[in-house]
Amino acid sequence: MGEIRKIMVPIDFSDVAPVVAKWAKDFARKINAQILVAYVLEDLSTYEGIYVDVKTLAELEMTLFEGAKKSMEDFLKEHFSDYPNVEFVLEKGDVVETLIKIAQEKGVDLIIMGTHGRKGLDKILFGSVAEGVVKNSPIPVVTINPYRAGLLKPEEEEVVEGM
């Protein structure tokens, strides 16, 4: 195994994101690694076949992207202000494919991500991002289940029937 110099931390701004960020930051500090915080906005062009004005979708996508940028700035201020070696990236596209592409293009040595994030209907519709990254990434992935690791209390976990 080579030296770990750059760690990517995909986030989704859910309640799990700060837990994973703290764990990744503590780990990165121990090995003096750079952190790349990544957020991927799901590409809304997949909905163009539905009777919706394309201009409306483009405007919504722009609004969501600007909101994500502001959320990322706030997230970094709150959770990484004490860590000088951090950068972020925002992109749109298929979440799993885009996260892997970002990691490869940015020279990431390790991906650290949560096993739980967005819940309910989002999880049913889009599947598990962590599962997709683990199955398809050529870069090693460490997953953290914040509920099983005792980082979040079980009552904070939203239970979805059949999951």
Indicate the number of domains in the chain: 1
Secondary structure (H, E, C), 55-84: HHHHHHHHHHHHHHHHHHHHHHHHHHCCCC
* Residue 56 falls inside a structural domain: yes
pTM above 0.85, yes or no: no
Task: Find the domain containing 142 and state its range.
Answer: 6-150
Quick: pLDDT tens for 45-103.
777 677 766 678 888 889 999 999 999 999 999 999 999 999 999 999 999 999 999 99
| Closest by Cα among 107, 85, 98, 102 to 27 | 85
CATH number for the domain including 142?
3.40.50.620
Residue 10, C-beta contacts closer than 8 angstroms, at least 6 positions apart: 38, 39, 40, 99, 111, 113, 129, 133
- 41 near 61, Cβ under 8 Å? yes
Tell me which residue of 123, 107, 102 sits closest to 12, measured CA to CA: 123
Question: Is residue 76 in some structural domain?
Answer: yes
The CA distance from 5 to 156, in Å, is 33
Categorize the per-residue pLDDT at 128 as very low, low, confident or very high, splitting at 50, 70 and 90.
Answer: confident
